[in-house]
Chain A
Amino acid sequence: MSSLEAHDLACSRGGASLFRDVSFGLTAGEWLALRGANGSGKTTLLRCVAGLTRPDAGEVLWDGRRAIDSGSEFRAAFVYAGHAPGIKDDLSAAQNLRDTLALRAARVAEDAMREALARVGLDKRRHVPARRLSAGQRRRIGLARLALDPAPLWLLDEPLTALDDEGQDIFSELLRRHLARGGLALIATHHDVSPAPSRELRLGR
């Protein structure tokens, strides 16, 4: 059973304290919605959990072990999708997906990638350079990636931005399937996501 815990996390940006004493716990099949006004530190909290930003205090535990000590083992266990989706404009959707999964050392068959791209509606445009895709279509490359990456933990920052209703439905379905398989998710979002979050964490005031 996978579990994610955070104990008394505190973080400041540019000298100003963003949040302190933030604690939460998640176990398999649960997702936590991260809420809060703009600038309340949702992104920073996600980056703290991922290990990109060093917290001022507190620690993150993955399966009971300190995430910092687990290093690459912990990094292999999560997918992080931030504001910038990490998509190269010069490469096609298919190539972007292939590169992202290869970087994660996830072995995925070419057929499965094609299927995932078809499922997010990019089948006809999979060989088009990403620069010619719309913002929502680029987001959909990210959805295809979520569908294929076997990592048990999702750390997502506003995953529904720029997605249309259909795209949001696809995301809901992916999230449902992920949780049903025993996955965990920490999602910063202003949207109402279905399935409803197992718990909520409100940052700031």
Chain B
Amino acid sequence: MSAATAGSFPAAFSWAFARDLRIAWRHPGETLLVISFFVLVASLFPLGVGAEPQLLARIGPGVIWVCALLAAFLSLPGMFATDHADGSLEQMALSPHPMPGWVAGKIAAHWMASGLPLTLLSPLLALQYGLSGDTLVVLAVALALGTPVLSLLGAACTALTLGARGAGMLLALLALPLFVPILIFGAGAAEAQASGLSPSPHLSLLGAVLIVAAMALPAAVCTAIRIALD
């Protein structure tokens, strides 16, 4: 009687990535909620503050970033909680695969279903604010670098709140403050571009944060999941 073959990081990553995307595809409600929240709120601002072009161009990047950040936050609670409730998380933890593999796969799938659509939509929404072409590009690049960090940070925070009562409230208190640096660098990049300065320092910082987060946070998520399962 032979045991199953041992697992590996790439196999675990692709397993979790494909599975979570499949679930997101079959049950698109959550992704659609995130996207429509983003579109609606970002479209409400121009209606609320009036159609003064200068004001809109001034607040545009910041508003788009805050909306993206809140939309990304909306998508966080389901990341591990449903798998925890239906026993899938246990099965993953007990699989022969290394835990960081499938944790990273789940985070990547989460970004594909939340951060990526937000990034792709942002130039369209930013048009309402009368941002210039260059600024639109910088805004999208900043979101492309920043939203994966939101998924990584969010994963660590949701994993920490697994099994806690009032997890939603706790998650907001935990995650939103941690999102602040990303917001500052991200909105700063587009604002610098709009005011004629180089956005590259902001983008470099965002890139650096992304690298550090991608290296360090999956391990933190693993530890939090182990604690939640104990």
Query: A interface vs B, CB < 8 Å?
Result: 2, 50-54, 72-73, 75-78, 80, 82-91, 95, 99-100, 102-107, 129, 149-152, 181-183
The answer to whether residues A105 and B96 also contact, given A86-B88, A151-B3, A152-B3 and a CB cut-off of 8 A, is yes
Judging by beta carbons under 8 Å apart, are B4 and A104 in contact? Answer: yes
Residue of B nearest to A99 (CB): B19
B224 within 8 Å of A by Cβ? no
Which of B20-28, B170-178, B188-196, B203-211 contacts the other chain?
B20-28
Interface residues of B in 56-110 (CB under 8 A from A): 85-88, 90-98, 102
Give the docked Cα–Cα distance between A80 and B89 (Å).
12
Give the docked Cα–Cα distance between A83 and B96 (Å).
21
Give the docked Cα–Cα distance between A150 and B102 (Å).
22
Judging by beta carbons under 8 Å apart, are A182 and B19 in contact? Answer: no
Additional A-B contact list (6), CB under 8 Å, known A150-B2, A183-B1: A51-B94, A52-B230, A84-B85, A95-B22, A150-B4, A152-B3
Report whether over half of chain A's contact residues are helix, strand or loop; otherwise say mixed.
loop
Judging by beta carbons under 8 Å apart, are A86 and B22 in contact? Answer: no
Collect the chain B residues with CB atoms within 8 Å of residue A54's CB: 230
A10 to chain B, nearest CB (A): 15
Q: In the complex, which range does the number of interface residues on chain B fall in?
A: 20 to 34
B11 within 8 Å of A by Cβ? yes
Collect the chain B residues with CB atoms within 8 Å of residue A85's CB: 86-87
The answer to whether residues A76 and B230 also contact, given A83-B87, A89-B86, A91-B23 and a CB cut-off of 8 A, is no
Interface residues of B in 21-39 (CB under 8 A from A): 22-23, 26-27
A-B contact count (CB 8 A): 97
Residue of A nearest to B87 (CB): A84
Judging by beta carbons under 8 Å apart, are A82 and B15 in contact? Answer: no
What are 24 A-B pairs with beta-carbon distances under 8 A? A52-B94, A52-B230, A54-B230, A72-B97, A72-B98, A73-B3, A73-B6, A75-B94, A80-B91, A80-B94, A84-B87, A86-B88, A87-B86, A90-B27, A100-B91, A103-B92, A104-B4, A105-B7, A105-B11, A105-B96, A129-B26, A150-B4, A151-B4, A152-B1
A74 to chain B, nearest CB (A): 9
Judging by beta carbons under 8 Å apart, are B90 and A76 in contact? Answer: no
Judging by beta carbons under 8 Å apart, are A84 and B86 in contact? Answer: yes
Give the docked Cα–Cα distance between A87 and B87 (Å).
7
Judging by beta carbons under 8 Å apart, are A72 and B6 in contact? Answer: yes
Give the docked Cα–Cα distance between A147 and B178 (Å).
46
Q: Which of A50, A51, A54, A90 has the most CB of B within 10 A?
A: A90
Select which of B1, B6, B91 is within 8 A of A105 by beta carbon: B6
The answer to whether residues A77 and B3 also contact, given A90-B26, A103-B95 and a CB cut-off of 8 A, is yes
